[in-house]
């Protein structure tokens, strides 16, 4: 019993002096340090450490390295506690900066994570197939849009009953290009066309007609999916082009066909002669000398007949002559690409998404968020403002000068998530936007402005609520808030206390004269040439008394030195091979013999030599200022850390810290 009592006493003492050392304490809950009334648990420390160093390295780091990081981390945590003690959480300027940043980053986060990223992945999956489509189109005419809709709806009802899509297309379609071909508009890859079209064809089975009328900016459509097949992203092909012109320059399709057949038969006899025959027969001047190579291309980049034949060919096989508007083509497919990973295709998908689908998805997202935030809009107020402004207000920027404006300025236009937006706020937005600058105030303009401003405010409202829903975003915001607090602390405890006036700098210079010195320096001029003949000409001219710098200006071939007359200003003797060679001269004005170097041949003239010496205060002032501020910053930082240590009495539990990453 005495032994049990002794053991209990030892455990109690251990818990007092070594918190977290109980063998039953979970690894993540071990206390690795404390400061003031706060503790740092193992889970927090390991998370912070791995943010700065990779997990694999963290596992193998020594205790000394863990201790070093712990010192930095405790300093960081004590600074945040000091920021709290200084009331930064209630500092209006800091909180305004934080909220502005949260809105900006939060909106970007929402658009990327909730809109762009998921839709891009959806499009990537859809792009694994391609769809051959046909359509019957009715364009609204003088009878109006509603008449066009009724007409095509009746046609669709007939097609559903009689299964006569091609017949009705030939009879009624406004697309004269495709109506004679059963409405065929060839292959489409998702993510590259109108979303109204895509949303329909990806839901339609092969050989079926989409059961509803589709409206686009071109008119009304009935859509049929003729084929669905795995997409080939790109093929590489070569061709031999036989144009319709004969040797006399006349249009002669018969002769062109005979010549194409001749070339094709030669290829059947000697398949490896494709490049040779392309050089001999092809009329495509851009490819004939390169074996007819057209490089890689995707669907719809070539004319339909060429495209269809090429994408059906196996690699290294040759097509029969294919007729297009340009003549007859004999095609050989030389390579074929497979589907690429999402990351490789990402930029292409993003470009197409922004062009075709982004705005519609953006509007839908905003509409959904508005519903969540109980959006309300005062349409009668907007109509009244449009009415009182009439045709007189040509520029929204002049609204505040009108007689009617004070009456409406404080009235609520709309409300979203508790934010009440007044007429005054709306016009401030309008005036700040170049889109509405000098635009006459009308109901349409006001509604457009409300749509854009309310979308911004709705997204910002959602951004301010992200922290409660997305832990990663909350962590990011904490990091930013900590950053602005640390910056403010540095400003208050260090930067604002730096006193770098002339007297302080002069005093520092006097105390540290050996820090600011010049090395041995030389100033010289050079005539540089790449040939012996030029150097010998200059050497001969110098012997006759011609001015050295005039010769350098005339003959020197070193880039950028002619206009400087070959002059190199005072510089460290050891800074280059040129300065070292020039420094071998002893008297000012002395000229060297020709000197061969890696670039060519040089002749030097010594202009000035100066032995190593201390810099004057004026010469050293920029360096003095930098060194003084660096030293003062370190001193003030040290003083501040000492203050934190005295205030928070930090302690590290090394026996627990040594267990990091060893669970």
Residue 507, H or E segment: helix 502-511
Output the six-digit token pair for 360: 């519609």
Q: What is the pLDDT of residue 162?
A: 96
* Mean pLDDT, rounded, of the chain: 91
- CA distances 648 to 30, 38, 82, 336, 643, Å, are 20, 9, 9, 68, 9
Q: What is the pLDDT of residues 273-301, one digit of tens each?
A: 999 999 999 999 999 999 999 999 999 99
Question: In angstroms, how far is the first alpha carbon of the chain from the final one?
Answer: 34
User: Taking 80 as the threshold, does the pLDDT of residue 390 lie above it?
Assistant: no
Give the pLDDT confidence of 567-592 residue by residue, as tens digits.
999 999 999 999 999 999 999 999 99
Measured CA to CA, the distance from residue 652 to residue 449 in angstroms comes to 58
Cβ–Cβ < 8 Å for 337, 354? no
The residue ranges of DSSP E strands in 412-485, in sequence order, are: 412-416, 419-422
Least confident of 23-27, 204-208, 333-337: 23-27
pLDDT at 480 over 70: yes
pLDDT reading at 87 higher than 80: yes
Q: Determine the average pLDDT of the residues in 224-235.
A: 97
Task: Tell whether domain 129-230 is in CATH 3.30.300.30.
Answer: no
Distance between CA 68 and CA 561 in Å, rounded? 52
**What is the spatial distance between Cα 110 and Cα 122, in angstroms, rounded to a whole number?**
17
Res 309: pLDDT: 97
For residues 393-415, average pLDDT: 84
Residues sharing a CB contact under 8 Å with residue 515, sequence separation 6 or more, in sequence order = 623, 627
Task: Supply the pLDDT for residue 2.
Answer: 43
274-281 and 253-269 helices, crossing angle to 10°: 160
What one-character DSSP code corresponds to residue 314? P
How many other C-beta atoms are found inside a 10 Å radius of the C-beta of residue 576?
12
pLDDT digits (tens, 9 = 90+) for 551-566: 999 999 999 999 999 9
**Cβ neighbours of residue 90 under 8 Å, at least 6 residues apart?**
none
Out of 12-21, 251-260, 536-545, least confident range:
12-21
Q: Give yes or no on whether 235-338 and 517-614 have one common fold.
A: yes
Structure confidence at residue 23 (pLDDT): 56
Instruction: For residues 554 and 563, give the distance between their C-alpha atoms in angstroms, rounded to a whole number.
Output: 9
Beta bridge partners of 614: 517
Average pLDDT over residues 108-134: 96
Confidence tier at 436 by pLDDT (50, 70, 90): confident
The whole-number average pLDDT for the span 325-350 is: 95
Q: How large is the greatest C-alpha to C-alpha distance in the chain, in angstroms?
A: 122
b/e per residue 284-315 (b: at least 16 CB within 10 A): beebbeebbbbeebbbeebeeebbebbbebee
pLDDT tier, 637 (very low <50, low <70, confident <90, very high otherwise): very high
What's the pLDDT at 265?
96
pLDDT surpassing 90 at residue 343: yes
CATH tag for 235-338 (out of 3.40.50.720, 3.20.20.140, 3.90.105.10, 3.10.50.40): 3.10.50.40
- What is the pLDDT confidence band of residue 6, given thresholds at 50, 70 and 90? very low
CB under 8 Å to 645, separation ≥6 — which residues?
78
How far is it, in rounded angstroms, from Cα 488 to Cα 648?
20
Strands (DSSP E) contained in 141-218 are 184-188, 214-216
Q: In percent, how much of the chain has pLDDT > 90?
A: 84
Task: Domain ranges for the chain, please list them.
Answer: 1-85+631-663, 92-127+339-493, 129-230, 235-338, 517-614
At 7 the pLDDT is 37
Dihedrals phi, psi of 99, to nearest 5 degrees: -65, -45
Q: Token match 């005339």: residue? A: 554
pLDDT at 449: 95
- How far, CA to CA in Å, does 243 sit from each of 271, 285, 515, 554, 630? 22, 12, 81, 59, 77
Count CB neighbours of 198 within 10 A. Answer: 20
The verdict on domain 517-614 having CATH code 3.30.420.40 is no
Confidence of residue 400 (pLDDT cuts 50, 70, 90): confident
Strands (E), 534-610: 567-572, 595-596, 601-610
Q: What angle do CA 506, 508, 513 make, to 5 degrees?
A: 95
Residue 94 has pLDDT above 90, yes or no: yes
User: Alpha carbon 597 to chain centroid distance?
Assistant: 46
Q: How confident is the model at residue 249 (pLDDT cuts 50, 70, 90)?
A: confident
Q: What is the pLDDT of residue 57?
A: 60
Q: Report the alpha-carbon distance of residue 647 to residue 626 in Å, rounded.
A: 31
E-strand ranges in 23-65 read: 31-35, 38-41
SS3 323: strand
pLDDT band at 54 (very low <50, low <70, confident <90, very high): low
Secondary structure of 106-117 as H, E, C letters? HHHHHHHHHHHH
> What does the pLDDT average to over 319-325?
96
Strand ordering across the sheet containing 595-596: 567-572, 521-529, 601-610, 595-596
Q: How many CB atoms lie within 10 A of CB 514?
A: 6
Q: What pLDDT score was predicted for residue 393?
A: 62
Q: How confident is the model at residue 250 (pLDDT cuts 50, 70, 90)?
A: confident
The edge-to-edge listing of strands for the beta sheet with 651-652 is 38-41, 31-35, 651-652
């Amino acid at each position: 019993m005495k032994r049990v009592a002794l053991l209990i006493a030892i455990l109690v003492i251990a818990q007092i002096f070594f918190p977290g050392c109980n063998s039953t304490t979970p690894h993540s809950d071990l206390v690795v340090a404390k400061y003031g009334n706060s503790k740092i648990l193992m889970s927090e420390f390991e998370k912070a450490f791995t943010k700065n160093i990779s997990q694999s390295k963290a596992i193998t780091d020594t205790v000394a390295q863990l201790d070093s990081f712990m010192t930095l981390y405790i300093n960081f945590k004590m600074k945040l506690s000091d920021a709290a003690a200084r009331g930064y959480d209630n500092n209006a300027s800091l909180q305004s900066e934080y909220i502005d940043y949260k809105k900006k980053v939060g909106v970007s986060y929402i658009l990327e994570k909730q809109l762009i990223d998921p839709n891009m992945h959806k499009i990537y999956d859809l792009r694994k197939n391609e769809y051959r489509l046909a359509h019957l189109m009715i364009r609204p005419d003088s009878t109006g849009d509603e008449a066009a809709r009724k007409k095509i709806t009746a046609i669709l009802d007939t097609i559903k009953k009689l299964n006569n899509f091609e017949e009705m297309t030939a009879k009624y379609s406004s697309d004269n290009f495709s109506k004679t071909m059963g409405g065929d508009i060839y292959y489409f890859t998702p993510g590259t066309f109108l979303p109204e079209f895509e949303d329909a064809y990806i839901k339609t089975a092969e050989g079926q007609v989409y059961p509803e009328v589709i409206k686009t900016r071109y008119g009304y459509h009935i859509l049929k999916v003729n084929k669905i097949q795995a997409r080939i992203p790109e093929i590489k092909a070569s061709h031999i082009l036989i144009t319709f012109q004969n040797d006399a320059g006349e249009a002669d399709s018969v002769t062109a066909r005979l010549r194409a057949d001749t070339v094709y038969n030669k290829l059947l006899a000697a398949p490896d002669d494709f490049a040779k025959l392309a050089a001999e027969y092809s009329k495509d001047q851009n490819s004939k000398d390169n074996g007819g190579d057209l490089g890689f291309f995707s669907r719809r980049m070539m004319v339909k007949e060429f495209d269809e034949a090429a994408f059906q060919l196996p690699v290294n096989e040759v097509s029969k002559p294919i007729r297009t508007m340009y003549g007859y083509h004999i095609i050989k497919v030389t390579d074929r690409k497979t589907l690429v990973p999402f990351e490789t295709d990402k930029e292409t998908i993003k470009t197409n998404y922004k062009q075709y689908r982004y705005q519609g998805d953006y509007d839908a997202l905003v509409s959904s968020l508005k519903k969540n935030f109980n959006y309300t809009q005062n349409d009668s107020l907007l109509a009244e403002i449009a009415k009182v402004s009439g045709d007189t207000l040509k520029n929204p920027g002049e609204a505040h000068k009108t007689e009617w404006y004070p009456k409406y300025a404080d009235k609520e236009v709309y409300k979203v998530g508790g934010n009440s937006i007044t007429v005054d706020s709306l016009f401030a937005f309008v005036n700040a936007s170049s889109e509405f600058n000098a635009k006459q105030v009308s109901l349409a303009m006001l509604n457009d402005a409300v749509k854009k401003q309310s979308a911004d405010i709705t997204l910002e409202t959602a951004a301010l609520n992200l922290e409660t829903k997305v832990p990663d975003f909350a962590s990011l915001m904490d990091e930013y808030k900590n950053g602005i607090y640390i910056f403010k602390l540095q400003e208050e405890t260090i930067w604002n206390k730096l006193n770098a006036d002339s007297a302080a700098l002069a005093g520092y210079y006097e105390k540290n004269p050996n820090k600011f010195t010049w090395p041995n320096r030389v100033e010289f001029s050079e005539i540089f040439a790449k040939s012996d003949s030029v150097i010998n000409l200059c050497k001969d001219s110098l012997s006759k008394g011609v001015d050295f710098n005039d010769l350098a200006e005339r003959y020197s071939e070193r880039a950028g030195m002619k206009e400087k007359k070959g002059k190199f200003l005072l510089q460290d003797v050891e800074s280059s091979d040129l300065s070292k060679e020039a420094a071998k001269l002893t008297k000012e004005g002395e000229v060297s013999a020709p000197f061969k170097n890696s670039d060519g041949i040089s002749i030097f003239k010594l202009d000035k030599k100066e032995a190593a010496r201390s810099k004057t205060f004026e010469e050293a002032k920029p360096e003095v200022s930098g060194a003084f501020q660096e030293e003062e910053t370190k001193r003030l930082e040290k003083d501040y850390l000492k203050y934190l240590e005295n205030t928070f009495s930090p302690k590290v539990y090394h026996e627990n810290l040594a267990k990091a990453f060893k669970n």
